[in-house]
Amino acid sequence: MNHNSPVSPCPLTHPGSPLPLASSRRVLTATQLRAHGVGAAQIEEQCGPGGAWQQLLPGVFLLHPGPPTSEERLHAVLLYARRPPGPGAVPQQAPRPAGDDADLPYEEAMITGLAALTLHGFPSAPPLLALDRIDVLVPRTRRLRSTGCARIVRSAALPRPRQITGVHVAPVPRALADAVAQLNDAGSVRLLLTDAVRGGHCEPTAILRELDQARLLPRPYVADAVESLLAEGRAVAEDRLFRMVREFGLPDPVWNVDLRLPGGPHLGGVDAYWPDQAVAVELDMRAGGDAEWSEAVRRREHLEQLGITVVHVTPRKLREGLDQQATVVRTALMAAVDREPAAYVVVLPR
């Protein structure tokens, strides 16, 4: 056979196939097939009646006749989304040599929405094969349309993806926002938001930020679900705070109390307080903006002026470094003997 001889189109499993037998993936683009010597006519023949291949998406082919697996659908969607622009399109980057896209990462496309949440391990997200469409996040400037099993979601700025089972996946807050945008059922939205916090995937503030940027918070069913999200976030954070005190041998505080000056104004609530050492722990569960932050700072400064040490912790700090937060609290308790006595305050149940 000389270099002008046509290459017979064969399925991957055929010993005479021009394609790499070691490939673990049976999904390739037309460009990748051409790089292996398979022309357009051969592709059309293989995808015709009785052929061994099938076209999943424009320019993306499944190299076996049976139904695609979940992994094959994911890779097909990503290959379609990062496919180089066709003739006449404005290129978004420098042109690449023919066939070079076979080695490209999915740097400008990532799975998002419900499919991403399934890959992140959300119990309430549906199985991948149950999804008629898979959401894929691309730059806003990409000239792509939703088709087949691929639904295009555009963004002015792409987040940094996570890699799960070899697939680029949007981080949980962004995937949640894209999933919620396609839902209209309060129960489903509430379950997804609860899974995010209960499973330790992210904090409520990160979710709220994405929902706000996507302009989803005004939707009534989203607003209802957000209330449950904040309640779940506080419950999880309080549980970690209880564990911190118990597991690291800290003295028992009084929990969830209000502080007041005798006969004076209300000083604010704290999540844990050690009266003998005048040390308070305050969980930062803010869901608001600058006004709420300013009020929290003002309250903390007032307590510190009275000689009360305020340890400010976030749910993320408790999730990622419980031992470090225990050390901070223990240090504050030990330092109490070297401080001036704090003002007397009244401690009341909150």
Higher pLDDT, 294 or 298: 298
Indicate the number of domains in the chain.
3
Half-sphere exposure of 17 (CA within 13 A, CB side): 18
The residue among 247, 265, 297 that closes a domain is 247
Residues 13 and 154 in one domain: no
Structure tokens of 127? 């199985």
The beta-carbon contacts of 235-240 under 8 Å, at least 24 apart in sequence, are 236/197, 236/198, 236/200, 236/315, 237/283, 237/285, 237/315, 237/318, 238/271, 238/283, 240/315, 240/318, 240/319, 240/322
Structural domain boundaries, residue 199:
69-78+105-247
What is the reported pLDDT for 304?
A: 87
Residues 58 and 110 in one domain: no
pLDDT score of 182: 93
pLDDT of residue 302: 85
Q: The sheet that has 60-62: what strands, in order across it?
A: 27-29, 60-62, 54-57
User: Do 74 and 181 have their domain in common?
Assistant: yes
pLDDT on residue 97: 33
pTM above 0.85, yes or no: no
Q: What digits encode the pLDDT tens for the residues 239-289?
A: 999 999 999 999 999 999 999 988 878 888 899 999 999 999 998 876 555
CB 146 within 8 A of CB 133: yes
Dump pLDDT digits (tens) for 49-98. 888 999 999 999 999 988 999 999 999 999 999 855 444 333 333 333 33
Give yes or no for a contact between 137 and 153, defined as CB atoms under 8 angstroms apart.
yes
Same domain? 159 vs 297: no
Exposure string for 313-327, b = 16+ CB within 10 A, e = fewer = bbbebbbeebeebbe
* Residue 202 belongs to some domain of the structure: yes
Residue where the block lists tokens 């399109």: 89
- The reply to whether 97 falls in a domain is no
As a whole number, mean pLDDT of residues 20-45 equals: 78
Domain final position from 182, 217, 247: 247
* Res. 12 pLDDT band, cuts 50 70 90: very low
C-alpha closest to that of 223 among 182, 178, 193: 193
Q: What is the mean pLDDT of residues 183-210?
A: 90
> Using CA atoms, how far apart are residues 112 and 322, in angstroms rounded to an integer?
30
Assess whether 117 and 243 both reside in one domain. Answer: yes
> Could you tell me the sign of the dihedral formed by the alpha carbons of 16, 20, 26, 27, in that order?
negative
Answer yes or no: is 83 within a domain: no
Does residue 89 fall inside a structural domain? no
User: Quick check: 157 pLDDT over 50?
Assistant: yes
Q: Give me the residue label for tokens 């929290």.
A: 296
Tell me whether residue 276 is in a domain. Answer: yes
* Residue 94 falls inside a structural domain: no
Dist CA 214 CA 211 (whole Å): 5
Q: Do 33 and 112 lie in a common domain? A: no
- State whether 185 and 44 are in the same domain: no
* Side-chain half-sphere CA neighbours of 198 within 13 A: 14
